[in-house]
Amino acid sequence: MKTQAPAQHQDPDKFIETQTRLSASPLVPEIQLHQASEDFPIWKMSEEELADYGIPSPFWAFAWAGGQAISRYLLDNAALVRGKHILDFGAGSGIIAIAALKAGAASAHAADIDPFAKSACYLNAKANNVELTATTDNLIGSPNKGWDIVLVGDMCYEQPLADQIEEWLRGLVAQGTDVLIGDPGRTYLPKSGMEKQATYRVQTSRALQDLDVGSTKVWKLLASR
């Protein structure tokens, strides 16, 4: 028998508000996010069940390790983003954009092709008393639209997507844009052409990764390998 889907699944805002709980992530207690928990059906539903109900995989409902690491790094090094215009690419919950704004960024634009993620970004921003903008446009390959810094968490999980993202980001770096990547060491993380900025021990759920606590790094991407 399939898990009963929430009746509000067709409205992203209502779905998120009724099927998640506001809570802080372990490494970034300053930020509250609408997150899935074992108390809600979304935690128990398989990808197939979610697809049957028209709900994309809820990557936005978790604080992933790379996003937590970049967020911690920005909050502890606010001068990096103070007064800057930033892009949170593959934003998910929007934790990185929210952290940048709390650190003093002039603006933060969250990009994620999932409309549920877009809604989550706005709801999470509201919960943290900051204002961001969000889009579901696929920005891979697009020119710089006024971003001083592009922040990328947890996007190196499959090919050829990771290769496409890397090529695009290195092009932006060559044009003068700073790019930071947060990742716990996934297979398709670039193997060269990066400078390590910080390392964190990040606690996550076993539903997301094999280990409860893992080493996660923040990298600065260079123009070439």
Strand, coil or helix: 71: helix
120 lies in the same domain as 189: yes
56 lies in the same domain as 103: no
Domain span at residue 52 reads 12-61
22 lies in the same domain as 44: yes
104 lies in the same domain as 32: no
Does residue 50 lie within any of the structural domains? yes
33 lies in the same domain as 91: no
What are the tens digits of pLDDT across the range 16-56? 998 899 999 999 999 999 999 777 777 677 778 777 767 88
What are the tens digits of pLDDT across the range 54-85? 788 899 999 999 999 999 999 999 999 999 99
Does residue 3 lie within any of the structural domains? no
What average pLDDT does the segment 180-208 reach? 88
72 lies in the same domain as 103: yes
Does residue 21 lie within any of the structural domains? yes
Percentage of the chain modeled with pLDDT above 70: 89
Query: The pTM is what?
Result: 0.91
127 lies in the same domain as 216: yes
CA dist., res. 116 & res. 121, Å (int): 9
- Cβ(46)–Cβ(219) below 8 Å: no
Number of domains in the chain: 2
CA dist., res. 53 & res. 110, Å (int): 25
pLDDT tier, 6 (very low <50, low <70, confident <90, very high otherwise) = very low
| Matching residue, tokens 């997301």 | 208
Tokens for 6?
């929430």
Residue 224: beta bridge partners? Answer: none
35 lies in the same domain as 127: no
Tell whether the model's pLDDT for residue 2 goes beyond 70.
Answer: no
Whichever domain contains 79, its CATH number is 3.40.50.150
- Cβ(120)–Cβ(60) below 8 Å: yes
98 lies in the same domain as 124: yes
- pLDDT at residue number 35: 95
- pLDDT at residue number 4: 44
CA dist., res. 224 & res. 45, Å (int): 41
119 lies in the same domain as 198: yes
